[in-house]
Structure 1
């Protein structure tokens, strides 16, 4: 199992199982109404917990490194959307409209928090900067991602009507602000019970996925998906990730960042958050379209884990090799000094 975890995210297996469950037993009628209410509660709970756990000091601590933060921000909310526009334009003749929308939607999302920091740590990168970048990305993304969706995907939410803005305020912003306000009271308790909060986080996402794919099954949208569609999404997701990783690596080196800073930039600037993306999609897109819209994001999530796990190990191996080289040079110098005549 430890070896399997290196290549397959167990949570993705749960997500896959949830999709299968929704395919076999979709929520219908009264069950669908109950599921809609439960999804609203789950999304609000998700962002409440995130607000309660996010320390404002963690954001301000890394802001002094403005060049690094600016590059990560530009990669997440400028470079990625430009790539998403290009890819979605090219995929228009290959994929159903909802999947094309999903490719563009994932490019507009904020970065992940946990995996960005974890991979930066494994690779020997600048962890405080990564923590700040990922936190700011998610905080800003709560507002910026819906605005970008309104600008670039005008069909989302029926032209991003006032009701959509109200839903975002009530289901995302308000719970987040309340969580921040409650942080002095419950923040320490949440940090001591990370396993419990992790179950709540992931369980909420699983439930949202079940509701979204149930709606898709009832509406019959999955009759539009073929093996060719899935293959195309995998290839396009991989292409988007490869371009961003190559661009952030090249820019980091051209701009003279240190290797630890480069690692933080690459891992924070190339990630997209499924934890934020799926709840947002349930608000911004029609229920019948959500399952196909989030499919590119779900596939991208697994691809980024595969690629970044491999990249993190390579960074770590290079750092270990440099350390051994330095230690070897030091030992050789000591030997030479000992043999030298007095």
Structure 2
């Protein structure tokens, strides 16, 4: 069995490189406007492919395990937002307003798909249920996350749910996603047969958005507005948030489900999707504020990968009749 990697992968390194490049060579003026249109097209293509590769059959096939899926959705769209909203007054004192809004935004996102399934498989969990739960979370997240963002961020005093934003959400996210679902019957096989192409579009679009987001934010003085202690507290906030959700999902899973299903709740219920989060943020927030909004998500993403990799390997070693895990 291949050992999960604790160091940043090439995608994370690309995101870090985009931030560094934007810090020293931000895109400005007329080129920024052209770049904005290019990223809009990239996001539409990204969600079109998300719609084309998301298997409705997997969601329907696993729907019988409804208690498990409801618990995963409750962790993703109830527990996380409740924690984020409860912690927001404290975070507003410890962080900058943009970073505090970014942490709250993290709490409103759907679960990941690939890594949730991968860690469930490594740990010896119910992979088919993980496919269903993660897919269902992403399907609902396309609609729920913008609604929750408008509700929670407005309550916390941040913009994020105006009518122009709703129009952008429909045109840039919902319609391409729905078109991908419709086109799945014709192109679903091609999408499945060319995962590297899909991955390139997926990750490339996110890197483009990150560079554009941080460029606009740097021009507005992002790094002058974020003191070092705020960044330190941001790491702590993301880590504590993840630890609380992992503890709750672990406890509920042990109390209500078999070992295999409990692992699904643990991994699918504790994750947040970078692939969906950054494009949705780009649609919801002004370009000048976007860098601070997505920074908490990028940090949370790496923390969750490191923590869940360690948990998955430990669970694999203690699985019934498990072979020794090497490496």
State the TM-score, normalizing by the size of structure 2.
Answer: 0.95
Aligned to 1:301: 301
**Corresponding residue for residue 214 of structure 2:** 213
Quick one: distance in 2 between partners of 1:311 and 1:208? 31
**CA–CA distance in structure 2, aligned partners of residues 248 and 101 of structure 1:** 24
More helix per residue:
1
Tell me which residue corresponds to 1:122: 122
Matching of residue 238 in structure 1 with residue 242 in structure 2: no
- Distance in 2 (CA, whole Å) between partners of 1:91 and 1:196 is 39
The answer for unaligned runs of 5 or more in structure 2 is none
Question: What is the rounded CA distance, in whole Å, between the counterparts of 1:323 and 1:198 in structure 2?
Answer: 32
Q: Which has the larger radius of gyration?
A: 1
Tell me if 1:291 matches 2:291. yes
What's the counterpart of residue 50 of structure 2?
50
SS for the counterpart of 1:311 is helix
- Residue equivalent to 2:314: 314
Aligned pairs, how many? 322
Any unmatched runs of 5+ in structure 1?
326-342
Mapped to 2, the partners of 1:238 and 1:225 lie a distance apart of: 19
* Root-mean-square deviation over aligned CA pairs: 1.7
Task: Tell me, yes or no, if structure 1 residue 139 matches structure 2 residue 139.
Answer: yes
Contact 1:157-1:285 within 8 A present in 2 as well: no
> Does the CA-based 8 Å contact 2:160-2:285 persist in structure 1?
no
- The CA distance in 2 between the partners of 1:107 and 1:180, in whole Å, is 26
CA distance in 1, matches of 2:160, 2:47: 24
- For 2:93 and 2:323, the matched residues in 1 are separated by 52
Contact 1:157 1:284 in 2 (8 A): no
Question: Is it true that 1:41 corresponds to 2:41 in the alignment?
Answer: yes
Contact 2:317/2:323 (<8 A) preserved: no
Are the structure 2 counterparts of residues 159 and 179 from structure 1 closer, same or farther at C-alpha, using a change threshold of 3 Å?
Answer: closer
The 1:323–1:138 alpha-carbon spacing in structure 2 relative to 1, beyond 3 Å, is: closer
TM-score (norm 1): 0.91
